Copies of this chain bind each other. A is one copy, B any other.
Amino acid sequence: MATGNPGSGLQLRSLIRASGELELSLVRVEIPDPAPDEIIVRVEASPINPSDLGLLLGAADMSTARVSEGPKLTATVPPGLMRAMAGRLDQPMPVGNEGAGTVIAAGSDPAAQALLGKLVAGIGGAMYAQYRTLKAADVLPLPPGASAADGASCFVNPLTALGMVETMRREGHGALVHTAAASNLGQMLNKICLKDGVPLVNIVRSGAQVQILTDIGATHVVDSTSETFLGDLTKALVETGATLAFDAIGGGKLAGQILAAMEAALNQRATAYSRYGSSVHKQVYIYGGLDTSPTILARSYGMAWGLGGWLLTPFLMKIGPAEGQKLRERVAAELKTTFASHYTAEIGLAEALDPAIVAAYNRRATGEKYLINPNKGGG
């Protein structure tokens, strides 16, 4: 066995059985020796992002969660939601998009050897595990002074926020709208936009969230629960000229209201009647699903509009590795400022299966985020 290879380690698995049970468990998996271009990372910090929760808990009703031996957590998937789970039935899935930790073993390639003992961040799933083998070329070495917790959320949120700004530039828009804007990601986006001089309209769902964003310097913050929401939004769109929105909510009328307000803002500047509405393209990308109900579009905004899904991975594939690397380098350079993440609590692998703790991290409350340290307490 290669120097430093622990031989095996615990990995969290999520399984949905055809019988309608979700089962979370820890299994001991073998760790093969790394290939010449690979490294073994001892994972010390991996965040629970909304995108992880979908895979981790599936459509299970977590009020039915109970502990069984193993340690193991089981919960029931409502029969009506089983159809959406068809693609993953009876396949134990490892979980955890991203994380950071120490390189404890390395393949023979000099690039891999050079990382031995260093703290690195990685992405690619199966991070809720004591050890994760990765390609040396795919990890991001953390800058001096950064901890594993600092680097744990290096990829998903920072690259998503940068991807939004980059998408705006590539698709010819000059300003942005963001919903659920007081989130960790939303705060990051504000810092990027302030630094880059990109006008940003933040849509939040409470007065307290308005305060969070104005405190970090946001100029345009509108509250969708306010009676003056549509007027406030239109005014902010007139001021910024934003014609591109990223929406984490998905369901209900919000995406359509944004398109309608963009159209109203554009028409305030129009000089002649066009039966098809403004010819300026208005776009909303849905990148999350905080509201899983249907999207309702009144189509009161002419014909120059688009709505669609947006995901980080296809975006990175579209821009290519060289452009992606530039974004990653910016994340590393600004890890403790623009891209700083804050966590509500650090939990171990076994704690991630405790129903009370699951209930806490599954609340998805704005500003709350949990960090798993698979080697907490020595693993």
Contacts and interface: CB of A to CB of B under 8 A. Distances in A.
A87 B307 contact: no
Contact of A296 (B294, B305, B310): B294
Contacts of A273: 87-88, 91, 93
A286 B299 contact: yes
Given A276-B311, A305-B308, A307-B307, A251 B87 contact: no
A84 B307 CA distance: 22
Contacts of A18: none
Contacts of A314: 279, 303-304
B311 A303 contact: yes
A297 B252 CA distance: 9
Classify the secondary structure of A's interface with B.
mixed
A299 B251 contact: yes
Nearest to A297: B295
Count of chain copies = 2
A217 interface: no
Nearest to A287: B303
Contact of A309 (B84, B270, B304): B304
A300 interface: yes
A311 B301 CA distance: 13
A338 interface: no
A278 B102 CA distance: 34
A309 B309 contact: no
A274 interface: yes
A293 to B, nearest CB: 9
A65 to B, nearest CB: 20
B305 A299 contact: no
A300 B287 CA distance: 14
Interface residues of A, number: 39
B279 A87 contact: no
Given A87-B273, A275-B55, A296-B296, A306 B309 contact: yes
A309 B305 contact: yes
Contacts of A117: none
A147 interface: no
A251, A303, A304: residue with the most chain B Cβ atoms closer than 10 Å:
A303
Contacts of A87: 267, 270, 273-274
Given A88-B273, A303-B309, 14 more contacts: A84-B300, A88-B275, A91-B273, A279-B314, A289-B299, A294-B296, A294-B298, A294-B299, A296-B296, A304-B314, A306-B306, A306-B307, A306-B308, A307-B308
22 contacts: A87-B270, A87-B274, A88-B273, A88-B275, A93-B273, A250-B299, A251-B299, A256-B294, A276-B311, A279-B314, A286-B299, A287-B303, A294-B299, A295-B296, A296-B296, A296-B297, A297-B297, A302-B309, A303-B311, A304-B309, A307-B307, A308-B308
A-B complex: 9 closest residue pairs judged by Cβ atoms: A303-B309, A306-B308, A295-B297, A87-B273, A88-B273, A303-B311, A307-B307, A55-B275, A294-B298
